A and B are shown apart, each in its own frame.
Chain A
Amino acid sequence: MTDLNKLTLAEARDGLRRGQFSATELTRALLAAIESANTSLNAYVLPTPEIALRQAQASDARLAKGEARPLEGLPLGIKDLYCTKGVRTTACSAILDAFTPTYESTVTQNLWDAGAVMLGKLNNDEFAMGSSNETSCFGPVTNPWRRRGSNVALVPGGSSGGSSSAVAADLCLAATATDTGGSIRQPAAITGTVGIKPTYGRCSRWGIVAFASSLDQAGPITKTVRDAAIMLRHMASVDPKDSTSVDAPVPDYEAVLGQGVQGLKVGVPKEYRMDGMPREIEALWQQGIAWLKAAGATIHDVSLPHTKYALPAYYIVAPAECSSNLARYDGVRYGLRKSGTDLIDGYETTRRAGFGAEVRRRVLIGTYVLSAGYYDAYYLKAQKVRTLIKRDFDEAYRTVDVLLTPTTPGPAFGIGEVGGDPVQMYLNDIFTVTVNMAGLPGISVPAGLSSEGTPLGLQLIGKPFGEETLFRAAQAIEDAAGRFTVPARWWAR
């Protein structure tokens, strides 16, 4: 059987169970796809073929004995922000050098316990700080999608750009990712893939390199809504090792996919209709509204008055937390070490050499807003605005079950096209960041193509722990829109 790498996670699971192919054949197909594509796409920073084949062999033995676990033999890519025992983990930062964890993150452990196979570690923006995967110390990732009639290399979004590129190019069946301000949903939207950031506290953060602890959440990027439901069920857990892990059982998300959206109340927040919004984004949004209406949902106008303040508040809260989290990189206990004239000079030299420009910029901003005399004006102010943003959502959810918005303000842009002013890059997260600020779940579903022939996504935002509703509504959009796969495999050697 050829092209096993093009299967969805659900198709591969069912094919393995029926014995149509083995986990080893499936894994070999994916390793071959990575081998032929990675020079062009740079999605993987560390393929792990030996581990993959060993796990696949063990899965074949279990499948033969009828002892298959839920994800038995299914090959996945893992964002390099997840600590993997005995496998180099860098967060794509030079400061972590050749750091090799002696422990496994809770989320990846959950996946291996469910029988999944690890293909390797995926590229991302350095410490997940970026919206284009251009800040990685391993270099940028390329989007498998191209503009119609153009060879210009496009970004796959960020920070989970290795995950989105690898899933869109069939270099893994599904990938783990993380989302602090949109880092799952924005890359999913511009690569034609599905990405869900669950409610804060649904997935354990233990063993995931920390960026901004009150905003970070793990989630999957997948080819279909069903695959996202399967992945999230096995990533999520209640974890005593993360004090913010919420003590609630993990539902079988796949079981609700067929329930439809009859009678579901969908809110359309008017504040997301930004000045200068491209007409194709507006048209996509209207199309999404029409699809949900046709499937039996009712549409309601709602107001989230503090929307425009979410991004500036985020750019206080996230750098503040990052400056605090990244204080641990001192060149003493692990990672890069550069010597200096004394201890302090050693720290300063190590951190100058190890952090890239965007990370340094954010650590400096964070240090400034937390420094004596400025805390109230910036950090405290931002946390108060955050309360108002959350309150807006609480108010909206009195009348609706779910919100529908565009995921991004536009399609994928070219590598190097958005440079210079950092704020221009930050604006990519304008529709996604509110969700992190309020701790809510959000999913991006492919919904159409731009005038350039590249993918666009719609975002659904749920109530806390409303992931089941999100999956139902996302399935309705996917049913109407169909899947969007890359037209030409230009990257394969």
Chain B
Amino acid sequence: MQVDAAAVQRIARLARIKVTEEEARALEQELSGILDWVKQLDEVDTSEVEPMTRVIPMTLKERPDVVTDGGIADEIMANAPVREDHFFVVPKVVE
């Protein structure tokens, strides 16, 4: 068992997902089961292996550092759940 209830709550906090105590108990089992299963990778000797960074060898594309888009505030705001003019409305964060 790698993940206990406190760890589930800590991870859930990092992931910004509310988890009830009952859900945390179920997740303890599920997450531990998955993590135990993936631990079989420890059988593989990777001491001399580079981590993969891309599947197809290519250099990242570049383009001139100029503005190519913009002036679409209406479009950006179109799906906002709460808005005022061109502003997203969020709860007060600074007292």
Contact = CB atoms under 8 A, between A and B. Distances in A.
A99 B43 CA distance: 45
Interface stretch (A65-73, A258-266, A280-288, A363-371): A363-371
Interface stretch (A42-50, A113-121, A376-384): A376-384
B34 A315 contact: yes
Contacts of A244: 54, 56, 58
Contacts of B90: 332, 343, 346
Interface string B43-72: 110100111111110101101000000001
8 contacts: A247-B61, A337-B82, A343-B90, A348-B16, A360-B17, A361-B31, A365-B35, A378-B38
Given A316-B41, A382-B38, 14 more contacts: A247-B61, A327-B16, A332-B90, A339-B91, A340-B91, A348-B16, A351-B15, A351-B16, A364-B27, A367-B15, A368-B3, A385-B41, A388-B46, A422-B34
Given A201-B56, A240-B63, A333 B11 contact: no
Contacts of B49: 384-385, 387-388
A347 B52 contact: no
Given A240-B63, A364-B12, A368-B35, A333 B79 contact: yes
Interface of A: 97, 99-100, 102-103, 199-201, 214, 240, 243-244, 246-247, 306, 308-309, 312-313, 315-316, 323, 327, 330-337, 339-340, 342-349, 351-352, 355, 360-361, 363-368, 371, 378, 380-388, 390, 421-423, 437-440, 464
Contacts of A97: 81
Contact of A335 (B50, B56, B81): B81
Most buried by A among B12, B14, B18, B78: B18
Contact of A438 (B13, B55, B91): B55
A200 B56 CA distance: 7
Interface of B: 3, 7-8, 11-19, 27, 30-31, 33-35, 37-44, 46, 49-56, 58, 60-61, 63, 72, 75-76, 78-82, 88, 90-91, 93
A384 B56 contact: no
List the 5 closest pairs (A to B, CB-CB), nearest first: A439-B55, A383-B51, A334-B79, A337-B81, A384-B46
Contacts of B3: 368
A72 to B, nearest CB: 30
B15 A387 contact: no
Given A361-B30, A368-B3, A384-B51, A246 B18 contact: no
B18 A385 contact: no
Nearest to A308: B40
B31 to A, nearest CB: 6
A334 B83 CA distance: 10
A246 B38 contact: no
B79 to A, nearest CB: 4
Contacts of A381: 41-42, 46
Contacts of B40: 308-309, 312
A414 B14 CA distance: 36
A351 B55 contact: no
A332 B88 contact: yes
Nearest to B75: A102
Given A342-B91, A423-B37, A351 B46 contact: no
Contacts of B16: 327, 330, 344, 347-348, 351
B27 A361 contact: yes
A364 to B, nearest CB: 5
